[in-house]
Amino acid sequence: MNMKDFPKELAHLEKYAKYCKKLKEGVYGFFINQFNEDGTKNPDWYEFRVNTLGASETATACEGGFDEYGIRAKLFWSKIGKKFPEIKSKFTFWGLELERNVATAWQFYDATPEGYIDNRYAGQKVRNYQELNCYAINIKYPYLSASFDFLVPEGQVNPFTGEIIDFSYPLEIKTISTAAAEKYELGLPVRYIFQTHQQMIIWEVDYCEIGALKGGTDFEVYPIYMNEGIKEMVLTETKQFWDLVETARPIYYELEFCFDEKKKEEYVAQLDALEPSPEQNKGYEDFWKEKYRETSEKKEKQGNEDDWAIAVGYKNILDQEKELSDKKQLYKNNLLYTMKDCEELTFGENGRVVHRNHEGSRTYFGVNIKNYK
């Protein structure tokens, strides 16, 4: 895109103007490939991600522990310029590898549990999608971006209502294990709901869908309608988070090129004051170890009243855990004693207790009961 056509609201991204195209009124797409033609990494792809808050980062940026794996403090530091090792896992690998196959199943989905199977073999598509390989940004929210898995064109039937949808909308594809899905009331992590809300905000629609493959064989499509409360939370808290980032960036830049030790300490203190507080998230402990892996020269620090209250709270929890652990073991031992001559202790429709201890295989003990509260 020529600079004369580049929107002034996105001036902070003008370095990437050559990748920019207008998608719809007020919405622009940055078509940046992750790799160059020769197979090398494209630095623009990585740098661009630092300059906006992506939809998959929304739940992390919002206070409240909506992303059980995301750490607000780490996201903060990554957005102001600190480099962290790239995390690769079998879950993200297979999620990307299976994305197109799951999207294909979505094309045949007719809102019945397994109708997509019959439709697939009969070659009867219910709907189509299109690819939009870019970062979409709405000029109303220049600090937010969304990378849609796919876009559903307008004028197609909604299989849940039978109505024609007269606008295009995002389609998010997910793969999730059965055990993980069962943890959530909706069958999906809350962070997915926040992610799709940011996508709807950017695309300016009030509807989108998630196509999810669970446990490798169970496929389901979730219609997601805009929730005004979640929308307001996303807009308010992502803006507050991004304001922290923009305040911290120049300080971090000065720190990176500072050789005055006293000045360094001042910059570090300023950044620590801006860093989001710790959350109820085990991932924070890993982040802390990564960030502060070098031993501090200060071996001791005098704690204040707030520090004492936190230490007392932690110790009280430890004492409660010990007591509960002992009680838990006693209950388990009594169940094992009762089950000395069986593998399953059944309670009809209320479930069962299972204990398997076969030679050469792993021991399993599980209390799978319901209606007990």
Structure tokens at 291: 């960030």
Asked if 217 and 97 sit in the same domain, the reply is: yes
Range of the domain at 337: 314-369
- 281-298 pLDDT, tens digit per residue, is 777 777 777 776 655 555
Question: What's the rounded Cα separation, in Å, for the pair 28 and 20?
Answer: 7
The percentage of residues in the chain with a pLDDT greater than 70, rounded to a whole number, is: 96
Same structural domain, 118 and 199: yes
**Whether 173 and 201 share a structural domain:** yes
Listed in sequence order, the residues at least 6 apart from 102 whose beta carbon sits closer than 8 Å to its beta carbon are 173, 174, 175, 211, 212, 213, 219
**What does the alpha-carbon distance between residue 366 and residue 37 come to, in Å, rounded to a whole number?**
53
End residue of a domain, out of 236, 259, 291: 291
Question: What per-residue confidence (pLDDT) applies to 242?
Answer: 97
Q: Is residue 240 domain-resident? A: no
Res 82: pLDDT: 86
Rounded to whole angstroms, the Cα distance separating 85 from 287 reads: 11
Residues 190 and 265 in one domain: no
Do 30 and 98 have their domain in common? yes
For residue 334, is it within any domain?
A: yes
Of how many residues is the chain composed? Answer: 373
214 with 272, same domain: the answer is no
What pLDDT was estimated at residue 294?
57
Against a cut of 0.85, is the pTM above it?
no
The top-scoring range by mean pLDDT among 150-154, 260-264, 276-280, 300-304 is 150-154
Asked if residue 286 and residue 146 are part of one domain, the reply reads no
User: Residues 42, 118: one domain?
Assistant: yes
Residue 204 — pLDDT band, cuts 50, 70, 90? very high
20/1 Cα distance (integer angstroms): 6
Q: What is the mean pLDDT of residues 200-226?
A: 95
Looking at the structure, do residues 192 and 286 belong to the same domain, yes or no? no
Q: What's the total number of domains in the chain?
A: 3
Question: If you average pLDDT over every residue of the chain, what do you get?
Answer: 90
pLDDT given for residue 85 in this prediction: 67
Among 255, 293, 341, 248, which Cα is nearest to 85's? Answer: 293
129 and 174, same structural domain? yes
The predicted structure's pLDDT at residue 297: 58
Q: Which two tokens stand for residue 219?
A: 């496929």
Are both 191 and 336 inside the same structural domain? Answer: no
Residue 65 in domain:
no
Question: At residue 186, does pLDDT exceed 90?
Answer: no
| 359 band by pLDDT with thresholds 50, 70 and 90 | low
Average pLDDT over residues 78-91: 80
pLDDT (tens digit per residue) in 16-74: 999 999 999 999 999 999 888 888 888 898 889 899 999 999 999 998 888 888 889 99
Taking alpha carbons only, the member of 318, 347, 323 closest to residue 335 is 347
Measured between alpha carbons, how far is 343 from 120 in angstroms, rounded to an integer? 42
308 located within any domain:
no
Residue 327 lies in a domain: yes
Q: In terms of domains, do 23 and 120 share one?
A: yes
CATH of the domain at 171: 3.90.320
- β-pairing, 169-176 with 207-214? parallel
